[in-house]
Structure 1
Amino acid sequence: MASRKHYTDEFKREAVRLATAPGNSMAGVARDLGVNRTLIGHWVKNAQAGKYEMTPGAPLKSESQSEVEQLRRELAKVKMERDILKKAPGLLREGPDVKYGFIAKHRAQWPIRAMCRVLQVSASGFYEWDGRSPSQRSVDNDKLTGLIRQSFAASDRTYGSRRVWEDLREWGHDVSVNRVARLMSAAGLLARRKRRRRPGASTQAAQHTIAPNLLQRQFDADAPNRRWLADFTYIWTAEGWLYLAVVLDVFSRRIVGWSMRDEMTSQLVIDALTMAIWRRGSPKELLHHSDQGSQYTSDDFQRVLAGHGITCSMSRRGDCWDNAAMESFFSTFKTERASRTIYRTRDEARADAFDYIERFYNPRRRHSTLQYLSPVRFEELHGAAV
């Protein structure tokens, strides 16, 4: 029988913030987080009663995700129309035949209907002028492009052709990945490229407190809660740095614990580990791997590991490849979310990191290591959901 799940106050606080944000429904947030709706409602009541101290600072005023996506779509549409008009200066004063000729010439570059709209002619008129009705291939491409845009938008514009292709396959569409790539290129849908930044150096601990590297770059496991990876990163805001510590289960690449603080202390990584232990039910025979940062070698953190019977493993000094799967997650998080956003407050950064981990990465983001399944779906299909 599965152990009862526990949630840290930090998790509850961010869940309440999300559930009460404009544009969000409590049921939808509960579904995304995998938490019972009644429990979310209980947390909201407790927060309103002052049981959970919300992070100091002004309330969040950022637009809802749907509003942001709508603005992005409108911006992309405006940009496309501007590009069309750049290629067709003065064409609006010309007759239909000239406009139709321009559309026929550039049909591979822009959607026909978009050009018709910009040049103020009807699509049916163009097809009649062209001497034929739209081909079945063209109709299919238009349909696929709409689905591709849906997948691309749902990923916050981070999916490349392979992950979009996996979405289309799951939706029942038999199409090649190369065709998806061509349609994405024609539609101007380009996934954000990685941008790496070197974080500041962490303090090294005395040699006698460093554990051996027991993981030995074995980034796989035959079941959940056998090997956990841990690290923390930096998120810049207008108020200063926010530090995010996470714990990742190697089996499914799922983020099972996280914590955020204004300071880089041992309590930061202890809180992330505590969340992981509570959520996964105090697992046995567990290996915990991290770097040699002073937060992980501290007496307080080592006591938590020992108290739960967790074996400690650490990377060799200065060797990021010893914890490569963890580095990969942070690179993905910054590429797909943090590096794309200017945070006015630490509260905004906290809310966005929570949204990325709990509503996108864990339940929805397709992972190449997992045959393009999400971490949650991978655990469900392998009968290992915890």
Structure 2
Amino acid sequence: MTVHPFIEAEKRDGHNVKRACELLKVSRTAFYARCKGTPGPRSVRDAELTEKIAEVHQQSRGTYGAPRIHAVLQRQGEDCGRRRIARLMRKANLQGRHRRRRQPTTIPDQRATARPDLVVRDFAPDPHGLDTRWCGVITYIPTEEGRLYLATVIDIASRRMVGWSTADHLRTELVTDALTSACCRRRPARPVIFHSDRGCQGGFNWSSQHQFPGGIVGAR
């Protein structure tokens, strides 16, 4: 809130402008500049800082917020506070990008039966071991309509994705559909070990023991 209108009223009543500015801790230069319609020193400085803030913001591809821009300007020798930069960024409608809070896509089930580690923590590629060890990963893709969940099946030997499925939920079908997709694409002739997080989506340890073409898919 500006106190310049109050000083103007004091001036009209015949009071001392200098004394009023001292009591209110206001620059007389800025007050008289405002009365004349010309920008005061602070306004000029704000305009200069806004240009430099916009330049740094553009160089960061719109990712830097007030703390990082403040650090850059400090290194360039600019004497300004972080709150001032934040205020000028709000005024210029500039903002940085915030890291989204990650949502867990794998929820451990404490009641799930522990499965043996059939791959024995061996995730090294092996050109002669195709379609013998698969692993599953679940992630999500942010969209305008919400989160799109993606379940993938990766062949450990080749590091290639051999099956996948998408859905707007995290139910068991998301994973089993990805496994079905992988089996239909690869058609393994022998049993395949499928490794996943223990106690993944509810019921997955049970559903992953379905009989697929080529053998039983094991899970951990």
TM (norm. structure 1) is: 0.28
- Structure with a larger share of its residues in strand: 2
Higher RCO (Cα < 8 Å, 6 or more apart):
1
Larger Rg computed on CA atoms: 2
TM (norm. structure 2) is: 0.47
- Structure with a larger share of its residues in helix: 1
